[in-house]
Amino acid sequence: MTTRSLGRLRRTDFPYYAAHPDAVYLDSGATSQRPETVISAETDFVGADYAAVHRGSSVATGEATWAFETARERVAAFIGAGERELVWTAGATDAINMIALGISDASLGLGSADLALSAGDEIVVTEAEHHANLIPWQRLAARTGAVLRHVAVDADGLWSLDGMRREVSPRTRLISFPHVSNVTGQIAPVADIVGLAAEVGALTVLDACQSVPHMPVDFSTLGVDFAAFSAHKMLGPTGIGALYGRAELLDVLPPARTGGSMITTVTMEHAEFLPAPNRFEAGTQPVSQAIGFGAAVDYLASLGMSDVRSHEEGIAEALVETVTRTPGVRLIGPAPGDERAAIASVIVDGVHAHDVGQFLDDRGVTIRTGHHCAQPLHRALGVPATVRASASVYTDLDDVARFGEALGEVRDYFGVTA
């Protein structure tokens, strides 16, 4: 039973649930299950008419070609971008690196001087970053002499607009931050930060991995300069993600990865690059994965992202309610009642996260334990690892209830006195 109507969703659309109707899958923040339409979009494509997408005139070919060509349009439309503003990447990590490496090349004089960083320029991130939105900026800083600053998190793992305001200065050239934290579920005040960036003339990069799958997101309305997300967290395949960039920026950002299909004229000495998005798409692209990505976006769009968000708001409330009434369990992130994504990370008093995870797994509840690629955040929380439950469109209140039940038994099993 779902919390609010997600009318067109059937759990059995997902082969995973068709095979395991009783599964409690609460690890969608790591990677999501895929509907049959996504799996078969790929299989159909690589089967009988695979080669044909490149050339040919059969009806089947026309359809495959159309499927590939329109996948970009559909994913772009889904996040409020023009077609030229949506670059296929290997994943969100790859997308963020593409920005950082491109700015690095610009700083070495291999491209637009506007994007170049100099020694003493500042980059600002948060202490809540996923490593994917932290290490690439550390490396960029090391290459250019720029300084990496960060907004600290509080005891609940939260960062604030005020904190950001304190770190941003006229030296700030770039602000990168998570739209939704993959650990705390905190939702960033994007418009305020875009405003702050505008005041000082800084670029903005949005790590949208945990927002695009779960709520309506329109990058052009949000006004960010760049954004990154991955298909495998939004019902799509692994091996593909996307970089969003405002067209005029993408046209001048140097391409970090070079090779075939991204050029106009190549001599032994020099290469000229195509305009965006193709200038970033060197080599054979993840063709079938793009088609799968398109199918995933179609599935989400058919549910309606506003409905998805209100469904997941219900799940989030239930998660918070369940966790806060379980003795010996500490919920991190936004306080009960405050806005959050359907992510709940907890610390069980006296039981290591790994042991909690193993116990829940034995009870048929799949969650994630560890630092969730956010070591600095966990260091700030004072624990090496947390236990994270995270939802998606197919998550229902029964899942939450069974998670809560198992969580309630953990401390007893490990003999921790309440």
Partner 1 sequence: MSGLDDLYRELILDHSRDPQGKGDPQAEAHSHHELNPSCGDEITMGATVDEDGAIASLHWEGQGCSISMASASVMSDLLAGASRDEALARIDEFREMLRSRGSVEPSERLEDAAAFQGVAKYVMRIKCAMLGWVALEACLMESAAT
Cα gap 12→59, rounded to integer Å:
31
Among 247, 370, 397, 405, which residue sits at the site for partner 1 (rule: CB under 8 A)? 370
Given candidates 92, 123, 140, 290, which one binds ligand PLP under the rule CB under 6 A?
92
- Long-range contact set of residues 272-275: C-beta below 8 Å, sequence gap at least 24: 275/84, 275/251
Of ligand PLP, a second copy, partner 1, none, which one sits near residue 274, judging by CB under 5 to 8 A according to partner kind?
partner 1
Token pair of 66, please?
């159309």
CA distance linking residue 86 with residue 65, whole number of Å = 18
The CB-side HSE value for 373 (13 A sphere, CA atoms) comes to 12
Site map 242..271 versus ligand PLP, x via CB under 6 A: ------------------x-----------
50 binds partner 1 (CB under 8 A): no
Tell whether residue 411 is a contact of a second copy (CB under 8 A): no
Under rule CB under 8 A, residue 157 binds a second copy: no
Does residue 270 belong to the site contacting partner 1 (CB under 8 A)? no
302 binds partner 1 (CB under 8 A): no
Out of 2, 32, 93, 386, the residue judged to bind ligand PLP by CB under 6 A? 93
Tokens 């793009």, residue?
Answer: 290
**Which of partner 1, ligand PLP, a second copy, none lies near 286, with the C-beta cut-off 5 to 8 A by kind?**
a second copy
Among 57, 265, 284, 417, binds ligand PLP (CB under 6 A): 284
Q: Which stretch binds a second copy (CB under 8 A): 5-13, 89-97, 243-251, 337-345?
A: 89-97
Count of residues of this chain found to bind a second copy when the rule CB under 8 A is applied: 85
Asked whether the CA dihedral 266, 272, 274, 280 is positive or negative, the reply is: positive
Q: Does 207 bind ligand PLP (CB under 6 A)?
A: yes
- Which residue, 268 or 418, is less far from a second copy as judged by CB? 268
Nearer to a second copy, 320 or 381 (CB): 381
**Which of 50, 89, 93 has the alpha carbon at shortest distance from 288?**
50
Does residue 333 bind ligand PLP (CB under 6 A)? Answer: no
* Of 114 and 409, CB closest to partner 1: 409
The answer to whether 209 is a known catalytic residue is no
* 74 three-state secondary structure: helix
Task: Return d(Cα 333, Cα 253) in angstroms, integer.
Answer: 36
Q: Tell me the one-letter amino acid at 272.
A: E
358 near partner 1, rule: CB under 8 A:
yes
What residues between 321 and 350 interact with a second copy by CB under 8 A? none
| Residue 268, Cβ density class (10 Å: 0-12 exposed, 13-18 middle, ≥19 buried) | exposed
The answer to whether 12 contacts a second copy (rule: CB under 8 A) is no
> Is residue 415 packed enough to be buried (19+ CB in 10 Å), middle (13-18) or exposed (0-12)?
exposed
Peptide bond just before 277 cis, omega within 30 deg: yes
Residue 178's DSSP bridge partners are 207
Q: Residue 258 has which token pair?
A: 């070079």
Which residue's CB is nearer to ligand PLP, number 280 or number 359? 280
For residue 257, what are the contacts with CB-CB under 8 A and spacing of at least 6?
98, 280, 282, 283
Which residue out of 90, 247, 373, 383 is catalytically annotated? 373
Q: Cα-Cα-Cα-Cα dihedral of 194, 169, 209, 361, to 10°? A: -130
Does 362 contact partner 1 by CB under 8 A? yes
Window of 202-210, 308-316, 317-325, 365-373 that interacts with partner 1 by CB under 8 A: 365-373
What is the Cα 336 distance to its own chain's centre?
24
User: Which of the residues 247 through 306 are near a second copy (CB under 8 A)?
Assistant: 256-261, 263, 265-271, 282-289
Interface residue with ligand PLP among 144, 210, 288, 395 (CB under 6 A) is 210
Interface residues for a second copy in 174-203 (CB under 8 A)? none
In one-letter notation, the amino acid at residue 99 is I
Residue 266 phi, psi (nearest 5): -125, 125
Would you state the structure tokens that stand for residue 340, as one six-digit string? 């959050």
Tally Cβ neighbours within 10 Å of residue 162.
Answer: 8
Query: Residue 129 is encoded by which pair of tokens?
Result: 């970053």
Q: Is 245 in the site for a second copy (CB under 8 A)?
A: no
Interacting residues with ligand PLP (CB under 6 A): 91-93, 130, 132-133, 178, 182, 207, 209-210, 230, 241, 260, 283-284, 373
The residues assigned a catalytic role are: 373
